[in-house]
Amino acid sequence: MAADYRPMWTELGMDLKAHDALLDALGKAYQDVFLSQKVRPEGMSYLDFVMSEVHGLRIKELNDARATGRKVVGTFCVFVPEEIVLAADAICVGLCAGAEFGFEEAEKLLPRNTCGLIKSAFGFKLTKVCPYTQSSDMVVGETTCDGKKKAYEIFKDIQPNVYIMEIPQMKNTADRQLFASEYWRFKEAVEKLTGVTITAERLKKAIITVNNKRKALHRLALLRAADPAPISGLDSLLINQVAFYDDPVRFTGAINKICDELEGRIKQNSGVAPKHTPRVLISGCPMSVPNWKLPLVIETSGAVIVGEESCVGERGQRNLVDEKPHTIEGEMEALIDRYFKIDCAVFTPNQDRTDHIISMAKEYKADGVIHYALQFCSPYTVESYLVEKELAKHGIPMLKIETDYSMEDVGQLKTRIEAFIETFRQPAWSH
Ligand code: SF4
Ligand code: SF4
């Protein structure tokens, strides 16, 4: 980090000593996981810069914006519509955390058998190491899984201005009505927070901004269908993670530049791994920064990841909002339509997700699927049974992984993943 941000962090109420320890671990992990990769696209230097300043320059930007009266809204779930936040001239940031940090503190408030995502968000807050949480003027929780829903009741004690959005569990007409009324209620809450009335014009602009971001991410996703793969799964995951923190317009420009570069690589038939390298699709729970464990194990075990069916990935970013409506009612309907399609495992039944995994596996020419569930996450661990059954009908092999943020099981994971990859590795003579 170029500047001294310590006065800013102190002002945000952070614990500098604990934060130093976090940054130290993060910097080392970043070096080992990302900077050690070979033949990275040059455009990834933008992501390296963003990550080196993720607690510095970006937080300063948020701080400067807040000083002019703009608000920051922190979210934990892709059901929270970023467009509504942007339309009120506020800034939307993701707060999910992917590190085993502050778990001891978190476990004083939560049962031990709570998933790592929830414990990590609590741990970061309790140990005062997350400048995004500290900068948030409103934090939006949602009633998705039981773990999150109940945890927010406690989170309210440690974080001011927690807003709860109700998410239904089925996709019938009555559920859509509830979902729609919750989006209107959220719009009002954001207007109240910011003092800005969300007009049709403002919302249209925000819809276009977020659509452009999603188009760039989808462009990237499609380029990964090429063999040799033009970019690693690790770098692609990083891009999807940064999508939750960075300024959306600047980010979109940087990702489109990377895509231009990848198109050049594809034309020259070059990539990050040789042609015919085993190709894996990851499906399951979202992976938040700095949760890079599983992709690292996969990509150092002889495979390349060609897609993520995840909220930090295609589940969270696919489907655009219809840009045609020009009244606020029409735009809100278009938003609701888009978000109601998200096929999170908290819904029942959830056939769309399985169908999407199959279509992704085919489109990105994956040889197999690695289903990733965080320990104690019932929605995804339970749903993995049906996913595996359906994939088998299409001849797509699947490996189920249930893990957490600790590094203890890395050796065991590597053994299982290497064995899985061997089942579809093509012998060299067949190329
Ligand atoms: S997995 Fe479900 S609860 Fe988690 S971020 Fe995605 S939509 Fe939200
Ligand atoms: S990973 Fe599973 S248990 Fe954890 S917050 Fe997401 S849906 Fe809930």
The answer to whether residue 210 sits within a structural domain is: no
Domain termination site, one of 202, 227, 254? 202
The answer to whether residue 403 sits within a structural domain is: yes
Q: How many CB atoms sit inside 10 A of residue 389's CB?
A: 11
425 pLDDT band, cuts 50/70/90, is confident
Closest approach atom of ligand 1 to CA 145: 3
Q: Is 127 in the same domain as 254?
A: no
The answer to whether residue 212 sits within a structural domain is: no
pLDDT at 97: 87
| Nearest listed ligand to the Cα of residue 311 | 1
Selection from 93, 92, 75, 95 nearest residue 84 by Cα: 92
Helix (H, G, I), strand (E, B) or coil at 241: helix
Average of per-residue pLDDT across 100-105 = 95
The per-residue pLDDT for range 207-232, each reduced to its tens digit, is 999 999 999 999 999 999 999 999 99
pLDDT at 37: 95
Residues 15 and 127: beta-carbon distance below 8 Å:
yes
Whichever domain contains 304, its CATH number is 3.40.50.11900
Q: Is 63 in the same domain as 113?
A: yes
Specify the residue with its C-alpha closest to ligand 1, atom 6: 311
pLDDT at 236: 98
Average of per-residue pLDDT across 262-279 = 97
Q: Is 242 in the same domain as 166?
A: no
Residues 6+ apart with CB under 8 A from 77: 140, 142, 144, 148, 167, 311
Q: Is 369 in the same domain as 272?
A: yes
Q: Is the pLDDT of residue 128 over 90?
A: yes
Using alpha carbons, list the distances in angstroms from residue 115 to 135, 145, 289. 25, 11, 15
Average of per-residue pLDDT across 146-175 = 97
Domain termination site, one of 155, 171, 202? 202
Look at the chain and report how many structural domains it folds into: 2
Q: Is the pLDDT of residue 431 over 90?
A: no
Q: Is the pLDDT of residue 292 over 80?
A: yes
Closest approach atom of ligand 1 to CA 148: 3
Selection from 147, 169, 180 nearest residue 76 by Cα: 147
Name every protein residue with a CB atom under 6 angstroms from any ligand 1 atom.
77-79, 144-145, 286, 311, 342, 344, 346
- Average pLDDT of the residues of the chain: 97
Q: Domain of residue 107: give its range.
A: 6-202
**Ligand 1, from 344, 380, 382: best to mutate by most atoms within 8 Å of Cβ?**
344
Specify the residue with its C-alpha closest to ligand 1, atom 8: 77
The per-residue pLDDT for range 391-415, each reduced to its tens digit, is 999 999 999 999 999 999 999 999 9
Whether 148 lines ligand 2, by a CB cut-off of 6 Å, is: yes
* d(CA 34, ligand 2 centre) in Å: 26
Average of per-residue pLDDT across 357-377 = 98
Give dist(CA 28, CA 152) in Å, integer: 32
Using alpha carbons, list the distances in angstroms from residue 366 to 202, 355, 421, 424. 40, 15, 11, 10
Q: Is 83 in the same domain as 140?
A: yes
Q: Is 76 in the same domain as 100?
A: yes
Q: Is the pLDDT of residue 427 over 80?
A: no
Specify the residue with its C-alpha closest to ligand 2, atom 3: 377
Share of the chain above pLDDT 90, in %: 97
Residues 6+ apart with CB under 8 A from 38: 272
Give dist(CA 364, CA 210) in Å, integer: 24
Whether 121 lines ligand 2, by a CB cut-off of 6 Å, is: no
Q: Are strands 279-284 and 368-374 parallel, antiparallel or unpaired?
A: parallel
Residues 190 and 85: beta-carbon distance below 8 Å:
yes
Q: Is the pLDDT of residue 428 over 80?
A: no
pLDDT at 310: 98
Q: How many CB atoms sit inside 10 A of residue 90's CB?
A: 21
The per-residue pLDDT for range 20-42, each reduced to its tens digit, is 999 999 999 999 999 999 999 99
Q: Is 170 in the same domain as 272?
A: no
Q: Is the pLDDT of residue 426 over 90?
A: no
Q: Is 356 in the same domain as 385?
A: yes
* d(CA 344, ligand 1 centre) in Å: 6
* d(CA 311, ligand 1 centre) in Å: 6
* d(CA 138, ligand 2 centre) in Å: 21
Q: Is the pLDDT of residue 384 over 90?
A: yes
Q: Is 171 in the same domain as 261?
A: no
Q: How many CB atoms sit inside 10 A of residue 264's CB?
A: 12
* d(CA 406, ligand 2 centre) in Å: 17
Whether 377 lines ligand 2, by a CB cut-off of 6 Å, is: yes
The answer to whether residue 157 sits within a structural domain is: yes
Whichever domain contains 187, its CATH number is 3.40.50.11890
Q: Is 141 in the same domain as 237?
A: no
The answer to whether residue 1 sits within a structural domain is: no
Q: Is 160 in the same domain as 295?
A: no
Average of per-residue pLDDT across 334-351 = 98
Which helix (H) or strand (E) covers residue 138, if one does?
strand 138-142
Whether 336 lines ligand 2, by a CB cut-off of 6 Å, is: no
Residue where the block lists tokens 């929270």: 80
Average of per-residue pLDDT across 328-339 = 98
* d(CA 78, ligand 1 centre) in Å: 6
Whether 167 lines ligand 2, by a CB cut-off of 6 Å, is: no
Domain termination site, one of 168, 202, 236? 202
Q: Is 61 in the same domain as 109?
A: yes
* Angle in degrees, 0-180, between the axes of helices 200-223 and 328-340, rounded to the nearest 10: 30
